[in-house]
Amino acid sequence: MTGLVRSLSLKARLRSGRLLLLAAFLAMAAQPAQAQSVDDQLQRLQRELSDLQRQVYSGGTAPPAAADGGGGMAPTQAARVQLELEELEVQLQELTGRIEDMGFRVESVSDRLDKLVADVDLRLRNLEQGGLPPVGAEGALDGGDGDRAEPPAAGATATAPSPARPGTIGSISESDLSNFQQQQQSGASPDAPAAPAGQTAALPGGTAQEQYDYAFGLLRQANYAGAEQAFASFLDEHSAHALAGNAKYWLGETYYVRGNYQQAAVTFAEGFEAYPDNSKAPDNLLKLGMSLASLGSTQDACGTFSVLLDRYADAPATILSRAQRESQRLSCR
């Protein structure tokens, strides 16, 4: 009896195993067909989507669905795809507009930056040249005449003050200026760098404007010794020229930038007294005060800044603000 039961159980297990194998075989046989069907569907959808895109971008309408049930995209699917394409097109247009707007802004900023750089460059040139006319233009400076008085010779004692030429610059007396000049004549400035051996003071031929431009070119090249010689020669030859006041100021700068504050103070003082109406008169006072401050003459420097702020209230803002800062730094009253 027990053997019969075991035989039936074994047969049942074999039958069940055969059924499982059959089911597995059928499933494996069906997978390629399903995969092929899915692949066909994907390819068909891709073709229909391509047709739909061509219709949308060409301004037409979507092609009609195929007559058979499985040969085309369903109307609802086609409508959904077309809607998505339209949304993408709108987004693309918005992005294009933003890119164009950003490009316009960049061009505007670039244009404004170019104008700003040009304006700053022009202001720097005007500041350096004191409002000089264009290169090659002869004649007087704006706001000044061409018959300036000659600057006093080095070592000469100052004359008595006249109404147009006050006897003091701030609290600097004529005797102080004379002492500065006498010290320079005797070479009493220990920190004054000597001119290089063989340095020539000759100016190239040409007009006064061309010679001035040559000297100023040396200054811009940081050839301060050469610029000193050139400006000194220019003043010897063209002391009454409209550019003489500017040349005198830049001659003082050649000393100041090299730390020869004593000779710089003398030159700036002479430039202010000889050319009080020149456009560089406020600059002369500013650098005179700064030179005196560097020499330790704080009271004289404060007096010079006071004269600058009072007498030349319409001077360029950069000059006035620098004078105010220097006055505050020195605790001037």
- Of residues 272 and 86, more confidence is placed in 272
Dihedral sign computed on CA atoms, order 260, 266, 269, 271: negative
Does residue 136 lie within any of the structural domains? no
> What string of H, E and C letters represents the secondary structure of 37-97?
HHHHHHHHHHHHHHHHHHHHHCCCCCCCCCCCCCCCCCHHHHHHHHHHHHHHHHHHHHHHH
DSSP category for residue 160: P
* Residue 40 in domain: no
As a whole number, mean pLDDT of residues 214-229 equals 94
Q: Give pLDDT tens digits for 23-54.
A: 555 555 555 555 566 567 667 767 777 776 67
Q: What is the pLDDT of residue 115?
A: 74
pLDDT attached to residue 116: 78
Average pLDDT for residues 173-200, to the nearest whole number?
49
Give pLDDT, residue 72. Answer: 58
* pLDDT value at 178 more than 80: no
Q: Which residue has the higher pLDDT, 240 or 132?
A: 240
In a domain, 316, yes or no: yes
Q: Which two tokens stand for residue 74?
A: 């369903």
Higher-confidence position of 91 and 218? 218
pLDDT for 88 equals 83
What would the pLDDT profile of 71-102 be if each residue is shown by its tens digit?
A: 556 778 888 888 888 888 777 766 766 675 56
Q: In Å, how far from its chain's centre is CA 188?
A: 44
End-to-end CA distance of the chain: give it in Å, rounded: 133
Residue at 240 is within a domain: yes
List C-alpha distances in Å: 96 to 88, 101, 258, 275, 288: 12, 9, 59, 63, 61
Domain assignment present for 322: yes
Q: CB count, 10 Å around CB of 116?
A: 10
Beta bridge partners of 169: 172
Domain range enclosing 243: 174-187+200-329
Tell me: pLDDT of 4 over 70. no
For residue 217, is it within any domain? yes
Instruction: Give residue 157's pLDDT.
Output: 32
Nearest-angstrom CA–CA distance, 31 and 102 = 54
Residue type (1 letter), 37? S
Query: What is the pLDDT of the chain when averaged over all its residues?
Result: 71
Answer whether 171's CB lies under 8 Å from 303's CB: yes
Please give the share of the chain, as a percent, with pLDDT higher than 70.
52
Q: What is the pLDDT of residue 97?
A: 60
With bands split at pLDDT 50, 70 and 90, how would you rate the model's confidence at 278? very high
Tell me, yes or no, whether 216 lies in a domain: yes
Answer for the pair 306, 332: CB distance below 8 angstroms, yes or no: yes
Average pLDDT over every residue of 239-247: 94
Which residue would you say has higher pLDDT here, 76 or 311? 311
Residue 292 vs residue 1, higher pLDDT: 292
Residue 332's beta-bridge partner residues? Answer: none
Which residue did the predictor score with more confidence, 98 or 234?
A: 234
| pLDDT confidence of residue 193 | 45
Share of the chain above pLDDT 90, in %: 38
The structure's pTM equals: 0.47
- Per residue in 114-170, pLDDT (tens digit) is 777 777 766 766 666 554 433 333 333 333 333 333 333 333 333 333 333 344 554
CATH no. for residue 318? 1.25.40.10
Within-domain flag for 123: no
Give the pLDDT score at 133: 39
User: What is the number of domains present in the chain?
Assistant: 1
- When pLDDT is averaged across residues 235-256 and rounded to a whole number, the result is 95
Give the pLDDT mean for 206-230: 94
